[in-house]
Structure 1
């Protein structure tokens, strides 16, 4: 017996004005996607319960075989990309913009845009990036291919490829195995 929410069916998803919607996309009914006309979701992606994705100004692109676990928040209004095979564990927060905490600008979305503002810029997660539970990624960050970020980390800078990172702020702990690239080729061969 299953007491959780269900996924939208294909007909329901196709009735929404997504910028692009691939095949076999799974989105839980309790997820909130705002400004879907700016959201592209590729094949075999899954978005779980209580996740919020906002794409009010710029394009949000979610690649193939991407998993966004429950209770994630993606403020993608300044552009957000998750490439193929990347994933977010429960509770990850991604910010493409933030308030100004220095006092130079006012804060609060109820105010006119010219009075508010802070750091803003696209966030990109390359192929095979995984981010652990309750981590936070700040604006203008690119996490290069194959890197992993441990739970409860603060990512305030871009990260080079194939590293294992963790901490507040995040730091490189070691190299990450590239064996998953062999498994990706295996998957491609089995789908052919």
Structure 2
């Protein structure tokens, strides 16, 4: 320990030591009658109860000296940006209520009860058109950020991670275990904050099983994202995409009645 820090350490500990062991020498109060002579010197006796106290004092002083040497190394836990909540309190409360509703009113309902599940989603703020088929195994992060036109299908195991709004056009299909992810993190910011961008899936588009749509992507009308494909950019209308990242592989025939 450097000399200057040793002086500070002794300056902090000495008064506390004396407070624990009592006064010394001429400062000690007389014992018994007033005629008893005060001792010229005495050896301090340390109580067993004082040892934990002094140990705590030593640790506190060491902590103070460490903070002087490196103020950022001893930051309070709440100062670490990684420990901050990514969403506001109101959002977390809403998702807590939705979690209760999901497991009691939605998840274990019979598969044919599409109208009931649509009612439950609307109860939590979703905007759904007519004849939407949302299956009981679908996982929707925030119903109030879900917008569906008429005749939309969301299959079992599909994940709608809608930290931002996700819009599904009429007759669009989200197949099993597809992942629509509207949020990510800013990897260039030391605080690593969550960012979100809306996703739009157009009319008659199809997101195949286990395919992923990234934040901010628009899947245009009639586009198809193939099995396990990852859409990182907008998909053109009536085009079939596949791969990681998704690439156009063919045009999709557009029927006249569409």
Counterparts of 2:243 and 2:114 in 1: how far apart (Å)?
A: 39
Q: Is the 8 A contact 1:105 1:117 kept in 2?
A: no
Task: Tell me what 1:161 maps to.
Answer: 237
- Residue 23 of structure 1 is matched in structure 2 by none
What pairs with 1:71-86 in structure 2 (closer than 5 Å)? 71-86=157-172
1:141 aligned to 209, 217, 226, which one? 217
Residue pair 2:222, 2:238 contacting (<8 A) in 1 also: yes
Q: CA deviation at 1:160?
A: 1.3
**Structure 2: which 5+ residue stretches go unaligned?**
1-107
Residue 96, structure 1, aligned to residue 182, structure 2: yes
Pairwise CA distance, 1:9 = 7.3
Q: Which consecutive residues of structure 1, in runs of 5 or more, have no partner in the other structure?
A: 20-35, 107-115, 185-192
Corresponding residue of 1:129: 205
Aligned to 1:117: 194
Q: How many residues align?
A: 150
Question: How far does residue 79 in structure 1 lie from its aligned partner after superposition?
Answer: 0.6
SS in 1 for 2:183: coil
Q: Which has the higher helix share?
A: 2
Counterpart of 1:42 (choices 122, 129, 134) is 129
Deviations along 1:57-97, one digit per CA (max 9) or x if unpaired, are x6310121111111011011211000000001100001111
**Corresponding residue SS for 1:71:** coil
TM-score, normalised by the number of residues in structure 1: 0.70
Q: Which residue matches 2:141?
A: 54
Q: TM-score scaled by structure 2?
A: 0.53
Distance change (3 Å), C-alpha of 1:11 and 1:133: closer
- Per-residue deviation at 1:13? 5.7
The answer to whether the Cα contact below 8 Å between 2:118 and 2:134 also exists between their aligned partners in 1 is no
Residue 153 (structure 2) aligned to one of 59, 67, 86: 67
The CA RMSD measured in Å over matched residues stands at 2.4
Q: Does 1:105 align with 2:188?
A: no
CA contact (8 A) 1:96 1:140 kept: yes
Greater relative contact order (Cα 8 A, min sep 6): structure 1 or 2?
A: 1
**SS, match of residue 145 in structure 1:** coil
Shift in Å at residue 49 of structure 1? 3.1
Query: 1:103 Cα deviation (Å)?
Result: 5.9
Structure 1 segments (4+ residues) deviating >6 Å: none
Distance (whole Å) between structure 2 residues aligned to residue 93 and residue 12 of structure 1? 20
